[in-house]
C-alpha cells in the first residue's frame, strides 16, 4: 500500500503518474493514478474558468460556478468542456466577454 500512497502524493502535487516500469505498482493502480491525474486536471480547468468569470463579471466564486453550470446545461456540454471554452475565449486575441 505504501508505494500506491506515495504515487498518489506524487500525482496530487502535479507530477505525472508512474509509467509501466514500476514493478511495485500494478496495472490497476496505474489506471487509478491516471484517473486521479485526469480528475485533478479537470478540477484545475474548472477553477481557472471560475476565476475568469469572477474577474469578467465582478461576481464571487459561488455565483461564477453557478453561471458555469448553467452555461454547461444550456449548451449540453460537460462542465469541463464549458470551462475549457471559457478559457479558450479568455486567451484568444480580440475575445469578447461572455455573460
Instruction: Look at residue 95 and tell me whether its pLDDT is greater than 50.
Output: no
Mean pLDDT of the chain: 88
Q: List, for residues 62-88, the tens digit of each pLDDT value.
A: 999 999 999 999 999 999 999 999 999
Average pLDDT over residues 16-31: 83
Contact 97, 55 (CB under 8 A): no
The reported pTM is: 0.77
Long-range contacts of 39-43 (CB under 8 A, 24+ apart): 40/11, 40/12, 40/14, 42/80
Instruction: Look at residue 18 and tell me whether its pLDDT is greater than 80.
Output: no
> In sequence order, which residues have a C-beta less than 8 Å from that of residue 72 and are 6 or more positions away?
78, 79, 81, 82
pLDDT value of position 94: 46
Amino acid at each position: 500500500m505504501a508505494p500506491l500512497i506515495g504515487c498518489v502524493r506524487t500525482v496530487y502535487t502535479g507530477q505525472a503518474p508512474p509509467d509501466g516500469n514500476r514493478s511495485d505498482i500494478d496495472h490497476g493502480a496505474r489506471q487509478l493514478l491516471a484517473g486521479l491525474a485526469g480528475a485533478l486536471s479537470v478540477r484545475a480547468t474548472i477553477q481557472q474558468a471560475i476565476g475568469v468569470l469572477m474577474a469578467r463579471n465582478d461576481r464571487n466564486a459561488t455565483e461564477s460556478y453557478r453561471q458555469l453550470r448553467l452555461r454547461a446545461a444550456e449548451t449540453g456540454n460537460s462542465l469541463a468542456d464549458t470551462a475549457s471554452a471559457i478559457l479558450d475565449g479568455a486567451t484568444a486575441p480580440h475575445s469578447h466577454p461572455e455573460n
